[in-house]
Chains A and B, each alone.
Chain A
Amino acid sequence: MPDEFDVPGIKCLNIDEIHPEENLGDFIFTDNASAQTILQMCLNKKIRHFVQKSNLAHAQEIALAQKMAKDPDKYFSFPLSAIFGQENPDEASEKKLQGVFFDINNPTDKFNVLAQIENYIKGLTKASSLLYEVLNTADELFTNAIYNAPYMDFNNENPGVERDFRNVRIDSSKRPYMFVGNDGARIVLGCKDQFGTLNVERLLARIKKCYDSDLSNVINYSSGGAGIGAFMIFESAASVYIGVKQGIQTLVCCSFAYKLSSASRSQLPKNLHIYTE
């Protein structure tokens, strides 16, 4: 493994040589760590930014990690600009990068949102596998924003309300917001809600459980969601960005490498960024 990123001062750690007791702080810059390793280290060692050299755009990913830690509002206010590496994210840069965006007024907006995202993605790539991965992720993020976020406590112990449009009403002052953009190599899809109820540790543990077990044993067959949506998102995306301001907002974004084949995409080691307050 190369021992340096091409970013001055950033060393590439060999994940196998990290001592279990070593305090690594919030950041890990490494390569070829599996999804399970990332989740385990984020859960056990409280790593907040896991950036891997063989993923795409690692210079921007390192910059984002630093930005999320020092100036998280840039991520919350201008997520596309922050993820795509704009030095000073602002409203103008954000607008330029937005391909499509939606304020969600009604649960039935889902069909329109997915249709518009589908058109946008089809204009960028003809890879059917990627289109389905992005659409599935959009579906899961939308579902979480309307069926889970408004009804969860901070421990996320209940699985949300039953998945039926009639069970939910969207408060016009707390409308979820979805958006998609691209930078020529990555598509970023994001969803923001105004509740900030996502419990990140619980989410990571849930995803890890999906990797560690047979998925069919993890599916929740009682009330609420199926409990595998977060895993499906994590499995599809090249990078996942999670920001939670408790009681205020949750912003989850995912990036996808859209010029690569599915086989190449599946080889990319994942990045994970977390910010909570």
Chain B
Amino acid sequence: MDQFKCVITSNLTENIWTFSGPLNEHIVIPPIDKSKPLSINMKKITLINSYGIRIWCKWIQENKEFKDLTLEECPFVFVNNFSKISGFITNLITVKSFYVPFFSEESQERKDVLFHLGEDYQINGFLRIPDIKDSKGEYMELDVNPIKYFSFLKRR
């Protein structure tokens, strides 16, 4: 299993961080350059343990006044904490896209489907769940408890 990395790039309009690996006791999240909006791509986060949750929540708390933070491609491991921990994200953070796992108990197949803000969901809680089929053309079911998993949309 890889270790945590934060790759930092920027363009004219924003700073872009790309996280990868596990969020655990060994991570250091850099300070924010508040002169530009910040977008963090979470796609390659593999795990978050209890200490990683603590570090993330502390970092969020320290930056709670920063209005230009966007999270992209949040994986299940990350989104799963939105509903469990009230300080995990704040109302000022925009979740631009996140993954929703689908699973078929019959075929044991799995698909992670990326939901996009403005297309599949709205900040006000509107959500459109697409029909997802497995390789045999059978419908797959959500591999999450929808009431818990999507609850962060309504809270915002």
Q: Is the CB of A126 within 8 A of B105?
A: no
**Given that A132-B77, A136-B47 are contacting pairs, would A262 and B103 also be in contact in the complex, using a CB cutoff of 8 Å?**
yes
Q: Which of A126, A220, A221 contacts B108 (CB 8 A)?
A: A126
B141 within 8 A of A: yes
Which 6 pairs across A and B sit closest by C-beta, in order of nearness? Answer: A163-B25, A216-B87, A226-B54, A229-B50, A126-B110, A226-B50
Complex alpha-carbon distance, A136 and B78, angstroms: 12
B15 within 8 A of A: no
Complex alpha-carbon distance, A229 and B53, angstroms: 10
Listed in ascending order, the chain A residues whose CB lies under 8 Å from chain B are 111-112, 114-115, 118, 125-129, 132, 135-136, 139-140, 143, 163-164, 214-216, 219-221, 225-229, 232, 259-264, 266
1/0 per residue B90-118: CB within 8 Å of A? Answer: 00000000000101010011101000000
Interface segment out of the listed B33-41, B63-71, B121-129, B143-151: B143-151
Most chain A Cβ neighbours within 10 Å, of B53, B58, B76, B143: B143
Q: Is the CB of B143 within 8 A of A229?
A: no
Q: Is the CB of A263 within 8 A of B85?
A: no
Q: Which residue of B lies closest to A142 (CB)?
A: B49
Shortest CB-to-CB span from B17 to chain A, Å, is 22
Q: Which of A111, A112, A221 contacts B58 (CB 8 A)?
A: A221
Complex alpha-carbon distance, A215 and B53, angstroms: 11
Most chain B Cβ neighbours within 10 Å, of A115, A163, A260, A262: A262
Q: Which of B26, B105, B110, B143 contacts A259 (CB 8 A)?
A: B105
Q: Which residue of B lies closest to A113 (CB)?
A: B1
Q: Is the CB of B54 within 8 A of A125?
A: no
Can you give 12 A-B contacts (C-beta < 8 A)?
A125-B108, A127-B143, A128-B143, A132-B76, A135-B47, A143-B50, A215-B86, A216-B87, A216-B88, A260-B105, A261-B103, A263-B143
